[in-house]
């Protein structure tokens, strides 16, 4: 009896499924996807003159697989774009997905069908994070907020910035999103393989590594193996001198010579003079000799004269 084969799942389908499960596990409520050069592999510039059917052929297969999976996982999806051709984009979505999926999607383009005021952003974005900046249509932030507000009106509840993910090929939009508390994930249209983008998505739900505390050890009197002697290794003085390009550093290298021949010494003396020796030098040097020392010097001079040796001449201090 021949065994039935299970339907095979290719790599891109597995990547889309993993991305949908990962976004759901992080508590994502809204995924906003850019259209030009992200959802489709061309940049229309808002001036697409061909049919929607032809533009449908440029939709990336990864997003064709990801969007229905996100809808099944109860994660809202929105298309945010600077293009004013909103009806064209809706037609592309109708050609790409089922009616059930299309009815759940939100499209925000640069048209007059919506507007946004600062008072409407309070539930989504605390203005203390951006001070009301980036709310004009030069950035994707107002498009994302408007899409979140429409979903709130449809389904109820609140969608905040921390519940939202933006996928965009523009690094400026990603930076503004991250500065506003939205999770921005960069999509590189030049990458042929979608795996690099999936790796960036995995970082969203990667478990954070917790540092384990260092266990305390009770001091032991038993000597450890190999700890019988301690070796001090002297290294080059270049480590202890400044490596700057100024003349001061070069001068310190020249002065650090031990033989006076102009070459810098490559040894470092690890021995420090004893404080007792320092005290002796500071007390004895520079003070007049006592009388007893002068007498002993005179006696030695007399002995040297008797022996025919030159006398010791004592200088007055």
pLDDT tens per residue across span 272-315: 555 555 554 455 555 566 656 555 556 655 655 566 655 555 55
Mean pLDDT of 211-240: 51
Nearest to 19 by CA among 81, 59, 63, 58: 63
What domains can be seen in the chain, in order of their start residue?
12-202 (3.40.50.1000), 237-306 (no CATH)
pLDDT tens per residue across span 55-87: 999 999 999 999 999 999 999 999 999 999 999
Q: Specify the DSSP class assigned to residue 6.
A: P
Using DSSP's 3-state secondary structure scheme, residue 63 falls into: helix
pLDDT of 239 over the 50 cut: no
pLDDT at 251: 40
**Predicted confidence band of residue 120 (pLDDT cuts 50, 70, 90):** confident
Using DSSP's 3-state secondary structure scheme, residue 264 falls into: coil
pLDDT at 214: 47
Q: Which of 114-128, 165-179, 258-272, 293-307 is the least confident region?
A: 258-272
Percent over 70 (pLDDT), the chain: 59
Name the helix (H) or strand (E) containing 25: helix 11-25
d(CA 23, CA 46): 30
Q: Please state the pTM of the whole predicted model.
A: 0.63
């Amino acid at each position: 009896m021949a065994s039935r084969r299970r339907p095979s799942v290719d790599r891109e389908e597995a990547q889309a499924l993993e991305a949908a499960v990962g976004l759901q596990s992080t508590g994502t409520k809204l995924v906003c996807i850019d259209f030009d050069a992200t959802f489709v592999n061309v940049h229309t510039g808002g001036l697409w003159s061909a049919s929607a059917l032809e533009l449908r052929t440029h939709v990336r297969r990864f997003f064709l697989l990801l969007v229905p999976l996100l809808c099944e996982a109860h994660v809202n999806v929105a298309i945010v774009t600077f293009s004013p051709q909103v009806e064209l984009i809706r037609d592309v979505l109708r050609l790409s997905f089922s009616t059930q999926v299309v009815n759940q999607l939100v499209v925000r383009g640069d048209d007059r069908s919506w507007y946004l005021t600062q008072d409407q952003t309070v539930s989504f974005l605390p203005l203390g994070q951006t001070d009301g900046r980036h709310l004009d249509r030069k950035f994707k932030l107002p498009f994302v907020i408007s899409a979140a507000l429409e979903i709130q009106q449809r389904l109820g509840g609140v969608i905040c910035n921390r519940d939202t993910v933006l996928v965009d090929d523009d690094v400026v939009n990603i930076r503004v999103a991250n500065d506003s508390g939205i999770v921005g994930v960069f999509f590189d249209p030049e990458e042929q393989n979608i795996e690099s983008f999936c790796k960036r998505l995995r970082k969203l739900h990667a478990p954070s590594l917790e540092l384990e505390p260092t266990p305390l050890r009770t001091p032991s009197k038993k000597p450890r193996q190999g700890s019988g002697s301690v070796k001090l290794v002297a290294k080059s003085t270049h480590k202890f001198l400044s490596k700057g390009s100024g003349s001061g550093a070069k001068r310190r290298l020249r002065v650090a010579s031990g033989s006076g021949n102009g070459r810098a010494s490559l040894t470092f003396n690890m021995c420090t003079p004893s404080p007792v020796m320092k005290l002796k030098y500071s007390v004895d040097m520079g003070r007049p000799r006592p009388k007893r020392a002068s007498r002993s010097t005179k006696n030695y001079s007399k002995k040297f004269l008797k022996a025919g040796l030159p006398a010791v001449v004592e200088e007055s201090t």
